[in-house]
A and B are shown apart, each in its own frame.
Chain A
Amino acid sequence: MKAHFLNRVTPYAFLAPAGVIMVIALLYPLGYMIYGSFRDWDPSQNISETEFVGIKNYITLFFDPAFHESLSVTLIFAGSVVIAEMAIGVGLALLLDRNLRGMSILRTLFILPMMIAPVVVGLMWRYMYHPTVGTFNRTLKSMGLQGVDWLGQNALLSVIIADIWQWTPFIFILALAALQSLPRSALEAARIDGATPWQQIWYIKLPLMMPVLVVTGLLRLIDAFKVLEVILVMTEGGPGLSTEIVALRISRTATEFRELGTAAAMSNYLLILLLILTLAMLAFTRIQEARTARLARQVQEES
């Protein structure tokens, strides 16, 4: 009896330290933020001295055109980077999924950008985009072409390109892993059935990779909504509000405008958005699992 009790308790005892850390590091700040979002709160004030304002912060934001602008910049940014990264990453994986000599070196090279710290990526691209001494414009000019106003008029496009450069490898790795775990013999059967390489990709490879691709895409989308450093270093959200994604606006609201309550409310909006995406991802994997389980049960019942 006693041994039984011990057996049941032991796992929880081992989990406890991690649980405590999680409560302190995760739940406490989260609770603090939610609490703060209902208050009119200046950074100079202690939170206990602040005034309770109900959902005023949320309502203000809801009708704030600057916040709308920032939200739409975020949506455009996240949407376009994820679409472009998925297309390029999966395309590269399909291209490089073969056993040629030197392929492993090439694959390693491809994933380098992902390993560079975001601040460094931002600095690097800011330099390359520089209107006069930047790599791009110097190259364009040496070819006798007009320079492009990268971080000015085309700021959003420029940060999108930088993000694609950094995060395509992530999709590439996962897509390659998915490709290499496809059933080899099904692909051979398709070759015998007369499928051209394109048809193999379209009718066999992509459909079979789809579950992995959906989860990868959602993961990337969640991440893209939170991007901050690269854009902060490259444009600081400018010119105007053209690259001011929500994460940047939150930080500006807190530091420049000194409205911690509004910033907290904005964070909560972002949190809700990300929560929906995460739930969508979990739901997707759950549905997949349930489907395979149901099929397996069906077979068992018949036999």
Chain B
Amino acid sequence: MPEIRLEKLVKRYGDVQVLHGIDLDMAENEFTVLVGPSGCGKSTTLRMVAGLESVTEGEIFIGGSPVSHLDPKDRGLAMVFQDYALYPHMDVARNISFALRLQKRPKEEIQAKVREVAEIVGLSEFLHRKPGALSGGQRQRVAMARALAKDSDIFLFDEPLSNLDAKLRGQMRAELAIMRQSVQKNMIYVTHDQIEAMTLADRIVVMHGGYIQQQGPPEELFKQPANKFVAGFLGSPPMNFMDVDLQEEGGIVVARGDGFGIAIPAEISNQIGKNSGKITLGIRPSDLNYDPNAAEDRALDLQVIVSEYIGAQSVLLCSCGSTNVTVELKSETPIALGETLRFAVRTEGIHLFDRATESAL
């Protein structure tokens, strides 16, 4: 269960640079999730670790030794692909046992192993079916079983759940979370689904445009995003951003925007010091509470444009001056479209970003 280290990893396809120096340390038995928008280089990073893509520059270390010159088979890892990559001409048992059969393990051992992992993923009845005769969820389990059977130290997943429907995805996610506790292995998991990332990860790595934006435990990334991109990427509905001017008004710093002014708590304003002027204010929908009696310098007055009913909560799209702001509200609250409501801002929920560099202040 070795640690994995990526050092200044660079990938170029011809003149196109896809990864710009990825530095990443993954501790033993850590579940690392790579997230980011489409095309940000998650799969490329994972496939370089697997040995399916060559390394242009930099180095990959597994358990301390460089591996970028090794074949995939010599790196001691197992991988679950997005399209499952099952062998269509082999039945489930033979799919699962392929790696073991190549290693020429004894027959009884192979059979026992196949039964064991088939039991874990709940495929025992289907051992003699071909992949063509399985549903999407079952194929997904075969892919998982095949990876488990290998007994390798490192597990790689490339969007393993993205081809499943929403209900099955939730179910498989829960099963993965359970399996994750019993299987002590290094896992690297690629997804662009932030719920998967938040629920499964020990460490989330947010990527964008071939750069790592921030990495750390899910809670840290959610509470202290390093920049505007990470702040906007994690969390659903996404964080609201508003352009504001920081002004000193009678001893307190106020973030003044189009139609509102919010007092910035002293501990934050002290921290950012004289870095005043034009900045971006970020507030998550969950940090805005409907409160008609809130003080004016701690609240936003929002005019409701659209209300999306999604069960117990409704998501309201509102306008605040010239910007749009999303908020969440209990569905039973009676509101009318076009009405102006006052939402209190939780002080812990105030995030400030430099408008030019977009990094957190």
Co-assembled chains A and B: yes
Residues on A facing B (Cβ under 8 Å): 183, 185-186, 188-195, 199, 203-204, 207-208, 292, 295-296, 298-299, 302-303
A239 to B159, CA, bound (A): 67
Residues on the A chain within 8 Å of B98, using CB:
190, 193, 195, 203
Taking the closest CB of chain A, its distance from the CB of B136, in whole angstroms, is 9
Taking the closest CB of chain A, its distance from the CB of B66, in whole angstroms, is 19
Taking the closest CB of chain A, its distance from the CB of B139, in whole angstroms, is 10
A299 to B136, CA, bound (A): 10
At the interface, yes or no: B182 with Cβ under 8 Å from chain A? no
- In the complex, besides A191-B71, A193-B150, A298-B133, 17 extra interface pairs with C-beta distance below 8 angstroms are A183-B88, A185-B81, A185-B83, A185-B84, A186-B85, A188-B79, A188-B81, A189-B81, A189-B86, A191-B73, A192-B78, A194-B102, A208-B89, A295-B132, A295-B133, A299-B132, A299-B135
Residues on the A chain within 8 Å of B83, using CB:
183, 185
At the interface, yes or no: B211 with Cβ under 8 Å from chain A? no
What is the chain B residue whose CB lies nearest that of A297?
B133
Residues on the A chain within 8 Å of B134, using CB:
299
With contacts A195-B73, A195-B102, A199-B102 taken as known, whether A190 is within 8 angstroms of B133 at the C-beta atoms is: no
User: Of the candidates A192, A208, A298, which one forms a contact with B88 in the assembled complex, judged by CB atoms under 8 Å apart?
Assistant: A208
Taking the closest CB of chain B, its distance from the CB of A299, in whole angstroms, is 6
The A-B contact count (CB < 8 A) is 70
At the interface, yes or no: B244 with Cβ under 8 Å from chain A? no
At the interface, yes or no: B333 with Cβ under 8 Å from chain A? no
Inter-chain contact B88/A303, CB cutoff 8 Å: no
Residues on the A chain within 8 Å of B88, using CB:
183, 186, 208
Residues on the A chain within 8 Å of B99, using CB:
193-194
A144 to B77, CA, bound (A): 57
Number of interface residues of B (CB under 8 A): 29
Inter-chain contact B85/A207, CB cutoff 8 Å: no
- What are 25 A-B pairs at a CB distance below 8 A? A183-B88, A185-B84, A186-B85, A186-B86, A186-B87, A186-B88, A189-B79, A191-B51, A191-B52, A192-B50, A192-B51, A192-B52, A192-B77, A192-B78, A192-B79, A193-B98, A193-B102, A193-B146, A194-B73, A208-B88, A292-B132, A295-B130, A298-B133, A299-B132, A303-B135
At the interface, yes or no: B65 with Cβ under 8 Å from chain A? no
Inter-chain contact B87/A190, CB cutoff 8 Å: yes
A299 to B134, CA, bound (A): 6
Inter-chain contact B85/A194, CB cutoff 8 Å: no
What is the chain A residue whose CB lies nearest that of B158?
A185
At the interface, yes or no: B209 with Cβ under 8 Å from chain A? no
A185 to B84, CA, bound (A): 8
Within 8 A of A (CB), among B131-183: 132-135, 146, 150
Residues on the A chain within 8 Å of B130, using CB:
295
CB-defined interface of B334-358 with A at 8 Å, one 1/0 digit per residue?
A: 0000000000000000000000000
Taking the closest CB of chain B, its distance from the CB of A188, in whole angstroms, is 5
Taking the closest CB of chain B, its distance from the CB of A196, in whole angstroms, is 8
What is the chain B residue whose CB lies nearest that of A296?
B132
At the interface, yes or no: B293 with Cβ under 8 Å from chain A? no
